[in-house]
Chains A and B, each alone.
Chain A
Amino acid sequence: MGLNTRIEHFHLVTEDLVSFTGLMGTGYESGDTLSGSPNMDVLLARVGTHRDRRAFAVLFDYFAPRVKSFLMRLGSDMPLAEEVTQEAMIMVWRRAETYDPRQSGASTWIFTIARNKRIDRLRRENRPLPDLSDPAFAPEGDETADKMVLRREEEEKIRHALKNLPEEQAKMIFSAYYEQKSHREIADQSGVPLGTVKSRIRLALNRLRAHLDEVEGRLEP
């Protein structure tokens, strides 16, 4: 009963989102309406609620080449990156019903899946799937589409703030995500003292947190 209620709930949410983004009636197969990623959120939610294969194919076309690119940047060779990408996309299908567009964007959600797939592959072990509904990944959200708009806005703010970080701070963030260096390795290999590396990471995250606080501040009554 709990499961049915939940499915019903997600179903309703998705219908709202589809009409909300103006996707309904226009046919989401028309390519030009799909360039913006808010639609990716709706499509991913649709895969979850309707097991919609066309929606999945569009998601695949958009995200799989990006996941592959990201993995190659981290040092996977072409065939391995391809294989892990395919595994990640299968996981996207399998886990889509746990996706909640009010709480995370499709790109964030798919990033976590690809991250975990990559780690699993490195370890050659199958650990339990991450619980993406865990508060760590998705703090409390309310039931409105407003929340989704604000969430989108958050991502735009993050994108903007990342572009405007001071060079030495941005370098720390990019080395972590793109070169898979721990903060210790960054310090060892760049010759920057460990303490400086940590304070730069702290400063960078503070800037990004400030942008989020500004968006969230508007949620308060």
Chain B
Amino acid sequence: MNEPASLNTQLLDALLLDYAAGSLSRPLEILVETHLAMNEGSARTMRLLMQIGGVLLEDSEPVSLSEGALEAVMSAIDAEESKIDPVSEIRIETAASVLPRPAADYLPERGCTKSWRRIGLGIFECDISFGAEQGQAKCYRIAPGRAVPAHSHTGAEVTLILAGGFSDETGSYGPGDIAIQEAGSSHQPVADNDGECLVFAVNEGDIKLTGPLGRVLSLLTP
């Protein structure tokens, strides 16, 4: 198992706090929820953060509700109970997916050429749509041992590794790890040799290509 860089751990706590407090964009929420399903340490931290929320809620100075609020809620409940359909409450699992949810729910099939664009040798990307939400989400597939051209980010980029692994200047990352690139930073990820690397990345700004191969990559991108 990879040991995440200590700097990254610091960034992770801040991201998890943002999630608990409810200030992340939808794509980043999906990214964090998937990470929680894959990483026990972060799941424990999230439990702590929700407990903090509970303590702060409990210690809030009560503000009276309007007259008849409880009655209004009870009659809404009554109206609902009469038409409840227990079947619709059952979660339907998606077809045997080896990838962790919930991110897997948003991924297109591997062979779907309409969704996956080839952006370089052994590198594919696809856009993940979250409607009008801000924050650009993409998935990348990188062939074993392949290097992604060096690039920098004008906004922060948060990357969750869904399968395989990669290394860059900040460290090595495996399944479930989150790598965070700060705005203005530059990196060149190289996929591990033992399998395809699949990542889910949320970008809050444009990616600028910095390496010599950058120009080629940008020409390939529509």
Contacts and interface: CB of A to CB of B under 8 A. Distances in A.
A218 interface: no
B53 A183 contact: no
A180 B54 contact: no
Given A65-B64, A69-B61, A183-B18, A115 B48 contact: no
Contact of A66 (B24, B26, B43, B62): B62
B195 to A, nearest CB: 26
B51 interface: yes
Contacts of B61: 69
A176 interface: yes
A194 to B, nearest CB: 8
A73 interface: yes
B46 interface: yes
A198 B33 CA distance: 20
Given A90-B80, A111-B53, A198-B14, A65 B45 contact: no
A87 B180 CA distance: 36
A67 B57 CA distance: 7
A131 interface: yes
B58 A66 contact: yes
Contacts of A181: 23
A51 to B, nearest CB: 8
Contacts, number: 172
Nearest to A97: B89
A85 B77 CA distance: 14
Contacts of B74: 53
B77 A93 contact: yes
A72 interface: yes
Given A137-B47, A198-B13, A66 B80 contact: no
B71 to A, nearest CB: 10
A135 B53 CA distance: 18
B26, B36, B63 interface centre (most CB from chain A within 10 Å): B63
B55 A158 contact: yes
B22 A201 contact: no
B65 A65 contact: yes
Contacts of A118: 22
Interface string B54-76: 11111111111110011011101
A182 B24 contact: yes
Contacts of A61: 70
Interface string A43-69: 000000000010001001101111111
Contacts of B20: 115, 176-177
Given A111-B57, A115-B22, A158 B51 contact: yes
What 10 pairs across the A-B complex have the smallest Cβ distances?
Answer: A108-B54, A65-B62, A107-B54, A136-B36, A111-B53, A183-B14, A176-B21, A107-B58, A69-B60, A69-B63
Interface of A: 37, 53, 57, 60-61, 63-70, 72-73, 81-82, 85-86, 89-90, 93-94, 104-105, 107-112, 114-115, 118-119, 123, 125, 131, 134-139, 154-155, 158-159, 162, 172-173, 176-178, 180-185, 194, 197-199, 201-202, 205, 208-209, 212
Given A155-B51, A173-B17, A201-B14, 12 more contacts: A65-B62, A68-B63, A68-B65, A72-B63, A82-B69, A90-B76, A123-B133, A136-B47, A137-B46, A137-B50, A155-B55, A209-B44
5 contacts: A86-B76, A111-B57, A177-B52, A185-B23, A194-B182
